Structure formats: C-alpha cells, structure tokens
Amino acid sequence: DGGITQSPKYLFRKEGQNVTLSCEQNLNHDAMYWYRQDPGQGLRLIYYSQIVNDFQKGDIAEGYSVSREKKESFPLTVTSAQKNPTAFYLCASRQTGIAQPQHFGDGTRLSIL
Amino acid sequence: DAKTTQPNSMESNEEEPVHLPCNHSTISGTDYIHWYRQLPSQGPEYVIHGLTSNVNNRMASLAIAEDRKSSTLILHRATLRDAAVYYCILRDDGNYGQNFVFGPGTRLSVLP
C-alpha cells in the first residue's frame, strides 16, 4: 500500500543533542511538509518542499533543518538551538495541483530527557 | 490566509447525524474549503473538499452556504470511531505556494 512512513514513533533526546526524524513516502508526490503539534493545539508548519533539492521555511523554522535530496525522503533535524522541542511531529505529502489533499504519516513524538 | 472559525468542541450521540459548522466570512472566490480530521495520536486524514456546490463522499457531506461565508460538515450517522478533531481549512488551490493552515479545530465526542 502507498503511504507515508515516519520513524521512530517515539524518540527521546538529551539536552544539547541534535536528532533526526525520518519521513519516507512512496506516493510519488512532489510536495512534502513538516508540522509540529503541541497538546490541544492545531498544526504549525515548520518546513515544506515543493520539489527535490528545494525547500522553504514555514512559520516556525527556527531550530530546525531539512534536506530534500530524493523525491521520496524529507528528513527533519531538530537541533540543539530548538529550545522547546518536546512535541508531536507530523510529516505530510501532496501531489501538486487543484484540490489535491495532503496525506499524513502517523507522527513522531519527541521528548526531552 | 483567509481564516476559519469553528466551535472548540461538540458532542453527539452514536448513530445520530452530526453537523459541524465552520465560518469563513473572508473567503475569496478562489478558496477551496477543505475538511480534515485527526484521531488521537494519529496524523490528520482528508475528509472532503468543495468550492461552491455541495459535495458528498463515502465519509461525509459538505454543505456550502450560497454566499460561501460558512459551511457545514455532515456525518450522517456518527460512530464511536468518528470521535476526533475536525479541521476546516481554506486554501487557494490555484496558488502554488500557499499552504494548509490548521487551526485548533472542533473536538467531536461521540457518546454511546
């Protein structure tokens, strides 16, 4: 089945460490997105990529970095500069075009030890 | 981005219809109305979308007001699996660079 795979489901990080969250899709979608969700809140856009080797900052990009070297992969690195990284991270992909929906993974929950 | 307003929470009884409202008084002529829902500890899933006419699919119906300043997501028979947060989103699908903006949504509780 086609879909989006995020790994790991749960991740723990020590203070001062960088950590990378994986997102892979086999839907052949051009666009990919990373969102952050805090308890009881909506989703906030961190980074997005409309095409390979290109990505744009979203609303809360500070303390995060991404790469898009392959169409199917869009890893997110949470750096030590992100002061409050504990959150639920969601990856999505979408085929560009009119009325195309976003498809989401099941998320990675990141916690600080 | 055009904004939407939804109630924070709603309750429904199982097997009864549910009408989830969304106000979008500043909607532009090219904005599509999208609905997603998010079950606990999962990513959001697409429910339905429309532009001007009412829409039906296997999951739900979308009723759009004639002036397009409001819309209603209709679940015809709520089940316990429909308990989720429902997001109403406007997006100009002709704008290549525009993104989806997920607000806090409406938390739907379904009572057995």
CA-wise closest residue to A34 among A84, A86, A105: A105
Q: Chain B: nearest CA to A77, how far in angstroms?
A: 19
**Model confidence over A11-46: pLDDT tens digits?**
998 888 999 999 999 999 999 999 999 988 889 999
Cross-chain residue pair A98–B36, CB shorter than 8 Å? no
Per-residue pLDDT of A61-86, as tens digits, reads 999 999 999 999 999 999 988 889 99
DSSP A52-89: TTEEEE-TT-TTEEE--SBTTB--EEE-TT-S---EEE
> Residue A1: its pLDDT value, please?
60
Confidence of residue B20 (pLDDT cuts 50, 70, 90): very high
Task: Give the per-residue pLDDT at A81.
Answer: 86
Q: Which residue in B43, B49, B102 is closest to A106 by CB distance?
A: B43
Q: For B76-101, how does the pLDDT look when each residue is reduced to its tens digit (9 = 90+)?
A: 999 999 999 999 999 877 666 677 88
* Residue B32 β-bridge partners: B91
What residues of chain B lie within 8 A of the CB of A91, using their CB?
43
- C-beta atoms of B49 and A48 within 8 A: no
Q: Do B46 and A48 touch (CB under 8 A)?
A: no
Region class of B28: left (phi > 0), else alpha (psi between -120 and 50), else beta: beta
**In chain B, which residues touch A (CB < 8 A)?**
32, 34, 36, 41-46, 49, 51, 87, 93-94, 96-97, 99-105
Asked if residue B17 lies in contact with residue B37, where contact means CB atoms within 8 angstroms, the answer is no
Q: Do A107 and B43 touch (CB under 8 A)?
A: yes
Does the distance separating the beta carbons of B104 and A104 come in below 8 Å? no
Please name the residues between 6 and 45 in chain A that touch chain B, using a CB distance below 8 Å: 33, 35, 40-45
Beta carbons within 8 Å of A3's beta carbon, 6+ residues apart: A25, A26, A27, A103, A105
Q: Torsion-angle region of residue A17: left (phi > 0), alpha (psi -120 to 50) or beta?
A: beta
Q: Is A104–B102 a contact, with Cβ atoms under 8 angstroms apart?
A: no
- Residue whose C-alpha is closest to residue A11's, from A93, A104, A88: A88
Exposure letters A39-48 (e unless 16+ CB within 10 A, then b):
eeebbbbbbb
Cβ contacts (< 8 Å) between A107 and chain B: which residues?
Answer: 41-43
Whether residue B44 is preceded by a cis peptide bond, meaning omega within 30 degrees of 0, is no
